[in-house]
Structure 1
Amino acid sequence: MRNAAAGVALRLLKAVNARRARHAPAPDAGTVRILLQHAYGMGGTIRTVLNLAGYLARERDVEIVSVVRAAKEPFFPIPPGVRVSFLDDRTRPRGRVGRLLSRFPSVLIPEQENVYRSVSLWTDLRLVGFLRSLRGGVLISTRPGFNLVTALFAPPDVLTVGQEHVALDVHSPEVRRLIRRRYGRLDAFVTLTQADLDQYARLLRANPPRRLLRVPNAVPDLAGDVSALEEKCVVAIGRLVHAKGFDRLVEAWKHVAAAHPDWVLRIYGGGTQKAEHRLRTRIEEAGLADKVFLMGSSSEVGVELAKSSIYVVSSRYEGFGMTILEAMSKGVPVVSFDCPHGPKEIITHEHDGLLVRPRKPRALAEAVCRLIEDRELRARLGGNALLTAAGYDLDAVGSQWDSLLADLVRS
């Protein structure tokens, strides 16, 4: 019964879209809306989306549409010229209908998508209402769940661009199946890495979007000076989640601390109380309570990076590795697991950082120790890192977005 009702609804939607397409004006990229999970939250995706929005707002009308609002104030500053609106504002009392529908799970976002537990039937209703209200312009959606809903419900006169901030192989088979079926309805789909682009090209070869391309994230302009690389401090940044591999980093630091007890590791990033407690317990059990410090979240990562001499990445996988570029922009050399997919597309081994075998804490420790012990190598890699970061400057990356939007309007 449910499948039959869905089929009828989709046929009606198709008929409405066909009628609307006949009367649609010419495509226009003067108005850009960016669909984001939580604009006032913290995290790499939010920071990079705000960075992009600020660039696009130089010559366009730009609005970030935040699906939920769970904080009264933004963690990161909102760029000049960028408006923010909210579909499900949880900082204010909902009406009776909102309270009722919020008790039911989403029927539009796949259960296997990480955002599933953060949305509800009320969110679905608000999201579809927003999409159907659009008249022309460009809509950029920023995660698989929203890409899938956008592909299904966005009107035909809206140019739709899907983004991916993690790797395709991270997603479940169910999500990949939906991606294969629906992403062909998008006008463009953008990955952050060439490796991910290649995987999507294979997955979508039977039903590709009009444009399938790679556009990396741009490095934001961060506070803080270029590091002098003299502080006996190594930094890692990321949410306290399994993917970031901080358990392996603690294991690696046991070897670093034994060889260089005067050096410390600072881990910046938030997470659940349970995740923080688990990692803190691991640190204490390793006897590193005075060597490894959980610093919490910081909105001024540039300042903290400028006070470090090495940046370390212990991730099990990375969509792109924005913090790698941020560290490089402060002249800090990076030691990273050669994990899928981002690090090896940014780091050139022995030129601006060191890549080591994934899943090998001892190899990570040896690379960190090598940079600790070789000041000249540290300085050479750090200097080259500055040059690498310059290639991801906002104007250079932003011009790729300009070209994409212009191409979608023309075609």
Structure 2
Amino acid sequence: MSTVQEKVQPFAAPKGIPEYYPPESAGFTHVRDTLSAAAERAGYGYVELPVFEETGLYARGVGESTDVVSKEMYTFADRGERSVTLRPEGTAGVVRSVIEHGMDRAGLPVKLRYAGPFFRYERPQAGRYRQLQQVGIEAIGADDPALDAEVVAVADEGFKALGLTGYRLELTSLGDASCRPAYRSLLQDFLAGLDLDAATRARAAINPLRVLDDKRPEVRALMEDAPLLLDHLSPASAEHHAAVLQHLDDLGVAYTINPRMVRGLDYYTKTTFEFVHDGLGAQSGIGGGGRYDGLMATLGGQPLSGVGFGIGVDRTLLACGVEGVQPWSTARVEVFGVPLGDAARRRLVVIAGALRKAGVRVDLAYGGRGVKGAMKAADRSGARYALVLGERDLEAGTVGVKDLASGEQRDTALDAVVPELVAALAS
């Protein structure tokens, strides 16, 4: 009696979540680490944030009128019936951490950087994912235009370090508490005279600035003559904005003033900016941020100002692809060992260990492969050199060192191969 075994269906990754695996993952890690390195050079210490927080942190900190909170968050009840949310952005979590651990009591500004996944329930498309990867920085506790400029310049430096050139920086000021209320009333009066649909009018009632950033052509046409906040800044905000621009000029950071910019989060004040890459189509923003002067107090901390950014690693990697920029190697290892027999395998395991201790990336052919299969594996690994060792080589006290680029092979003394390879790779 025979039985037919049903085929087990494999699982697939959730929709809208990109995966990075070799060799493409080399680009992902390079972009992430390059952006992080620019922040590290500016004195931003690393903070590892929780992947989920109390839902109230985002409702209060990000703003209930935002699309992020009202439409995009992954919110659920845990086993203790507490409402928790997968983090949709980083700033609120950093501010919470600063307050909780008293980091603002040990010298200001507090300068922190972070990296990792964030989660938003969006309609998946190229550059818009439900799990998005970001590198971010936050500087809390100094209302200094020079700090705003530093934050912008750190992002710009990261993009330049990757070799990107096809992006632009758009920048504006969203004013402060002394000028925003009057401007809000002025804008609401203007919107009251327009023929807006019910949904847009409802959004305008909560936050009229969002209508300025509406992408629909018909709404853009109606907003052509709308008053702009940049023309109604308080003297203090105008002075702050002018100083930021002067610092950016001094640093050689090019920018374009965009008075209609409205970021997707409610906490922004004064300096607000976005890096845009037109080669990415509709999802052209590769990073952005700004100042958030009231967020600390809103979340229960001292009334300290802050400024920061979030850069999309996914989109920056896509921008590298659009520009044909690839300043990273996809090679997994630098040396690949090909043992011919058990005794050779034992010796190559020791040599590989010594090379790894010297900082060299090494892999071996496992599973008793033949020479042909092992050399194919060496080529696939991206290694620069292959070490070929058989019984005759062991008897002679040598190992074959093959340059996989040129195809040339030479015999090297077993006792000398580690320092020779280390020197060759260093040169």
TM-score w.r.t. the length of structure 2 is: 0.25
Q: Which has the higher strand share?
A: 2
TM-score with structure 1 length normalisation? 0.25
Identify the structure with the greater helix proportion.
1
Q: Which has the larger radius of gyration?
A: 2
